Amino acid sequence: MLAKIRPVGAKVYQSQDVPADISWKTNYQYIYTNSGTAALSLAVAAAMREKAASIIDVPEVILPAYACPDLVAALMAQGASPVLVDLEADSFFLDLEKLQAAISANTVAIVAVNFLGMYERLLQLRKVADARGVLLIEDSAQAPLPISANEGCADFAILSYGRGKPVNLMGGGALLFKPTYAASVSDIVANLRSSRIVVDWVWKLKAFVVNTLIMRYPYGLLERLPFLNIGATQYHPLQSIELREGLDPLVSEGIKHFYMLRADKAAAYRQGLAGIEDIGWTLLASGDGCVDEGSAQRGLLRFPILAPSRAARDHLEIELNRRGYGANAFYRFPLHRIEGVKSRVKNGDADFPIASTFADRLLTLPCHEGITDDEVADVIAIVKAAAKLDC
């Protein structure tokens, strides 16, 4: 089948004429950057500056053991040492006991990673951070809004606007920071190159090309070209950190479309697949306390399920893709097993059994505007049939 529904990816929405509604302005100051990785790197730099007096060796930053390798790149760009912490069972949450054990005299920050539109337990992590005297960074690259936008929970929050993110601006990111840290951020970015995004004919042409390539037939063709390596997870060093301006209207428009177009699809998956939890499968977005229920109801970047085993996951992934549905195992490996990461992580030789099992079992289903309600129903039927065969 040549046509293929992409696993993830929002369209680029181009209007700069809409009123900008930036909900985090109440609690945060903010700057736009050339990427989410760059924004995280700046947050780490600010955390290192704020905690410099208490650090006795190389600054350390806590990361979940299942995450994007770009997080490691962001830390390496600032000379910080990544320290991985395993997950709680059947969840993307950091294991709180292991988190406590991983914090040292050199820890400057904990990175709380929102996953596919679902939120980490910011309030609990805030308590840990305060008790141990470290800063809290909310990485919301996979959610259109950080939970801190309204709660003001984290010291810093990160957003990303690349392809495959909730708001697709073909690149870019945002760093949100409490006014307390404004002086540190100002000093760090003082000499960075800055440019303004203008929605001119060149930008619109790029957006048209991107929106065309993520359509079914172009995407299906591109996926077959091995040299493009579409969907592969690899470590890449952070090449540059730059500032961007003029993104408020585009960000507002993208957020509006994300929530407007995705809520029904996430709800359909959640309702249609509820029965498979009785036969060994897990819905991460079931709203049963494993994740933030509100985010799952508003809309997700992808719809995540955990199969009983890697074999069951792989079988279902193959079957869905054979039918033209872009199901995807996401990172496929825990962070320390992604090529290029292990040697850069302080505890890269350690075992992270829960993260490893999570990577083996995770499958994500498309829930963007490119899949119809009837196709969501077909995906549900395929998943349920495969789940029963696995029993």
Cα 76 → chain centroid: 19
Tell which residue, 116, 123, 46, 111, has the closest CA to residue 284: 116
Helix count (H) and strand count (E) of the chain?
A: 13, 12
Instruction: Quick: pLDDT tens for 26-42.
Output: 999 999 999 999 999 99
- Strand 107-113 relative to strand 60-64, pairing: parallel
Cα 98 → chain centroid: 22
Catalytic residue numbers?
165
Tell me what pLDDT residue 49 has.
Answer: 97
Instruction: Quick: pLDDT tens for 231-280.
Output: 778 899 999 999 999 999 999 999 988 888 888 899 999 999 999 999 99
CB 301 within 8 A of CB 142: yes
Task: Give CATH superfamily name and number for 261-390.
Answer: Aspartate Aminotransferase, domain 1 (3.90.1150.10)
Q: Is 67 exposed, middle or buried (0-12, 13-18, 19+ CB in 10 A)?
A: buried
Mean pLDDT along residues 209-237? 84
pTM of the model: 0.94
Residue ranges of the chain assigned to CATH 3.40.640.10 = 23-196
Residue ranges of the chain assigned to CATH 3.90.1150.10 = 261-390
Q: CA-CA distance, 266 to 264, in Å (whole number)?
A: 6
23-196: what fold? Aspartate Aminotransferase; domain 2 (3.40.640)
Tell me what pLDDT residue 2 has.
Answer: 77
CB 27 within 8 A of CB 154: no
E-assigned strand segments in the chain? 29-33, 60-64, 81-85, 107-113, 135-139, 156-160, 173-177, 194-196, 243-245, 282-283, 302-306, 362-366
Tell which residue, 126, 144, 146, 127, has the closest CA to residue 136: 126
What pLDDT band is residue 14 in, cutting at 50, 70 and 90?
Answer: confident
Tell me what pLDDT residue 296 has.
Answer: 45
